[in-house]
Amino acid sequence: MTSSTDDPLVTTDWLAARLDDPKVKVIDASFKLPGVLPLPVDDYRSAHLPGAVFFDVDHIADPNDPRPHMFPGAEQFARNVAALGISSVDTVVAYDSGGWVAAPRAWWMFLAFGHPKVKVLDGGLKKWLREGRPTHSGEVVPKPGKFQARLDPGYVRSQQQLAGNLATHAEQVVDARPRPRFEGTAAEPRPGLRPGHIPGSRNVPYAELFDANTGAMKSLDDLRQAFKGAGVDLAKPIVTTCGSGVSALVVTLALYRLGVRGSALYDGSWSEWGLPDGPPVATGAA
């Protein structure tokens, strides 16, 4: 079970009471698939939580890696985050549009780079707006912060590690993509990728972990049932994966809420594994 201090989620009430706290920094980490308009940064400029800065998942990434938004080096992460006005002493609260796609990605990056004081706003902008809370428009220009980062490599996995896992089955692989994409019956949004999933992986679609109406994450019992129904053993090591290493972290967040620690992200995810010359793929149900 997750104690309240250890819960990665915070409520809209909690955040509303702390918007004036200079040590609480709010980031909008909304993300959309390539080609979907308006761009998340334009949505941010139209309406964001008071004082929030935009955390660009595609920009806070390794610029020299052809794969989408791969983890940057620690030096770059520290530089990008400090430019957002965030310092190592601050508590960071990440939110997204309320579709739960990318706030958990930002949360996991902060944890991976050694910053434990990071939370996710339950329900995101969607819940905030439903409750009639205020938003601002335009850009926030913060005073640069002082941030130190050091990557713990245990938070991420490479294709090589996942390929090795095909033989050892040392880690369970949980895929967050919608069922038709996992089973290989629907095309990937990124062109040129093979359909299907990593052999032996389980499917827990990220969209099934939150309430589509309120935007809030489901209860601990519902989350537990989602993993159990997919054949995932919460007592054994887990790696999460998805299309490009973003929505997988919704699954990671749910696992974290259930007390699971030490899980990892396959950062390359299907945008790497699904390439034409990639490792073996499986299709159909898990």
Residue 222 DSSP label: H
Single out the residue of 118, 127, 139 nearest to residue 43, CA to CA.
139
**Going by DSSP bridges, is the β-strand pair 9-10/118-121 parallel, antiparallel, or unpaired?**
parallel
* Angstrom distances, CA of residue 202 to CA of 58, 182, 286: 27, 9, 6
Active site includes 242? yes
Spatial distance between the Cα atoms of 133 and 116, rounded to a whole number of angstroms: 27
In sequence order, what are the beta bridge partners of 174? Answer: 202, 240
Question: Residue 204 and residue 53: Cα distance in Å, rounded?
Answer: 31
Which residue out of 49, 93, 238, 242 is catalytically annotated?
242
| 82 alpha carbon, distance to own chain's centre | 20
Q: Which residues does the annotation mark as catalytic?
A: 242
